Structure 1
Amino acid sequence: MTSPDARQLILLAGERTIAERGPDVALRDIAVAAGQRNNSAVHYHFGSRDGLIVAIIERHQPALENRRTALLADHEASGAADTVAALIAILVRPMFDVPYTEGSTHYARFLEQARAHPAVGGPDLHEKRWHATRVLVARLFKAMPYGSPAIKRYRLQAMSTVMFALLADYERQEFGGETDRITVQDNILAMLVGLLTEPVTTD
């Protein structure tokens, strides 16, 4: 088994350091965390801070999209309705395990810190690369039972904000066993579904 190369080490260190200290952390600190003697190593491999953030996301996104695509295909083959609960499960469940099979330890916390970056929520999400996510968001919009189009968009944005926070909190937790882990996962999904489906009451 070969050892990780400098680029891979910087990706892992960048993910962890940005998760812990925010996206404005000094690039030389990321280089040091990656064990690189050259303080310009991030610039050499990624061109800029933005390039590093994009590369961290692109390291995981293909596997996440592949899992979502497979889950969506299973959902369609079953003939089940496009309920908010079913679509949220397809969108979110891959985040509980896919990044960590690729060696990550801080990906959800990284996303919580970097979610305002264009690579996380910019035009590429909606127009180019993240096809499964785009399809799921469009179907969620149609499946939401209440609200004008503007309110639905507002709730979807709020759900995204809460999703990043809940996934980061999940990543921080230490679980007593698999049952505890699954219980927390199910509660995260239920809370996100509630954000999109609970009607406004006037009582």
Structure 2
Amino acid sequence: MPKAEQTRGRILLTAERLFAEHGVFGVSNRQISEAAGQGNNAAVGYHFGTKADLLHAIVEHHTAQMERIRERLLRARADSTDLRDWVGCVVLPFTEHLSGLGTPSWYARLAAQIITEPQLRELAGAGLHDAPHFYAVIGGLHRCLPTLPPELRRRRDDMARTLLVHTCARREHTLPADPDAARAAWSETAAELIDAIEGLYLAPVTGIKPII
């Protein structure tokens, strides 16, 4: 592997860890460069540009890997009319990817920050323009909910995403060090999330006006 590529990878992983531990806005490019073992304190700027560019690169890196899992799931479930199958296509790319990162990992905790902070969420959303399988999954899920009003469906999508990411962030923080136990923990988390998110979409519509 070329030295520049190794350096980029080391910076990405270091930034991800520091962002997860201290917050995206609590870490400087200089701190990331130093923690990544770079003698040049401007290494982040040289390899990535701004902090926003660095964060975007982290999101793109993980999105590309999750897209490969979505593609596999879509091949097996594309013709399904079962909501649970499609909820699995929402949950499993995230949990399988996190499981594959080993322990410790930090991306779920960073993702929890991203969906909480509007500025970061907008940046992460831009990375999904190159995620066609993500949109295919959402389309398949929505076809299973023909009677759910579009605006309510959108809000439940947001609830499901929040539940998925924050549950995984908590699980990531408490993962056992043993690799087999960690994989089992992710499998258990995935099963619980599929149950919960399927129930969220199938919950009755009571007619109570939403709180804005």
- Distance in 2, matches of 1:106 and 1:31, equals 18
The residue that corresponds to 1:8 in the other structure is: 9
Task: Give the number of equivalent residue pairs.
Answer: 197
* Pairs within 5 Å for 1:95-114: 95-99=94-98, 101=100, 105-114=105-114
CA-CA distance at 1:164 after TM superposition? 1.2
Instruction: Please tell me the root mean square deviation across aligned C-alpha atoms, in Å.
Output: 2.7
| 1:56 alignment partner, one of 58, 81, 106 | 58
Identity %: 29
Amino acid at match of 2:96: D
The TM-score normalised by the length of structure 2 is 0.81
TM-score scaled to structure 1, two decimals?
0.84
CA distance in 1, matches of 2:135, 2:22: 30
Structure 1 stretch 3-12 or stretch 65-74: which is displaced more? 3-12
User: Structure 2: which amino acid aligns with 1:120?
Assistant: A
Q: Which amino acid aligns with 1:31?
A: S
Partner of residue 153, structure 1: 154
Check the 8 A contact 1:31/1:40 in 2, yes or no.
Answer: yes
Out of 20, 28, 41, the residue aligned to residue 30 of structure 2 is: 28
Contact 1:145 1:197 in 2 (8 A): no
**Unmatched tracts of structure 1, length 5 or more:** none
Q: Give CA deviations for 1:44-76 in whole Å, capped at 9, x if unaligned.
A: 111101110111112122221111011111113
More deviation in 153-162 or 181-190?
Answer: 181-190
* Stretch moving more, 94-103 or 111-120: 94-103
Q: How does 1:38-187 map to 2 (within 5 A)?
A: 38-76=40-78, 79-81=79-81, 83-99=82-98, 101=100, 105-115=105-115, 116=118, 117=120, 118-122=122-126, 125=128, 128-144=129-145, 146-175=147-176, 177=181, 179-187=184-192
